[in-house]
Amino acid sequence: QVQLVESGGGSVQSGGSMKLACVDAGYAWNRGQTGYMGWFRQSPGTEREGVAGVDREGRTTYANFAQGRFTISQDVAKNTLYLEMNSLKPEDTGMYYCAISNQAFLGGYWTRTDVYNFWGQGTRVTVSS
C-alpha cells in the first residue's frame, strides 16, 4: 500500500530556498511503472492547488507561479519525490502535499485533486517577508 510522508518544510525568509521530499514508505517504485506524481499546496481559506507534476516518463509540468522557481524531480530507487523551491515569496506560504495517481499520464488534468489516489499528510512552508 502506498504511504506518502512529506518532509523538509519549515520557515524561511523571502528569497530563500527549500527542498521538500516525499517518501513512499509503503510501496517500492519500479522504473517505468510509476503513477503520475504531483505536488500541491493549500493556504487557509483557499482550495488546494497544483504546484508541479511529473509523469511516468519523467516529463514535468508546472503551475505558472512555480515556473522558473520550482523544480520537481523523482528518485525511483529511493521511492522519493522532491520539490526544490527557490526565490520563495510570502505568498508561497502554505501546506504542501505530495500525491500519486494510479494513472501514469494525466495531461491537463494534473491539477485536479480527484485524479490522485494517494496523498501525504503535508508539510508546512512559511515564508516571511
Amino acid at 55: D
66, 94 contact by CB (below 8 A)? no
User: Would you give per-residue pLDDT tens digits along the chain (129 residues)?
Assistant: 889 999 999 999 999 999 999 999 887 888 778 899 999 999 989 999 999 999 999 999 999 999 999 999 999 999 999 999 999 999 999 999 999 999 999 999 999 999 999 999 999 999 999
60's grid cell: 514535468
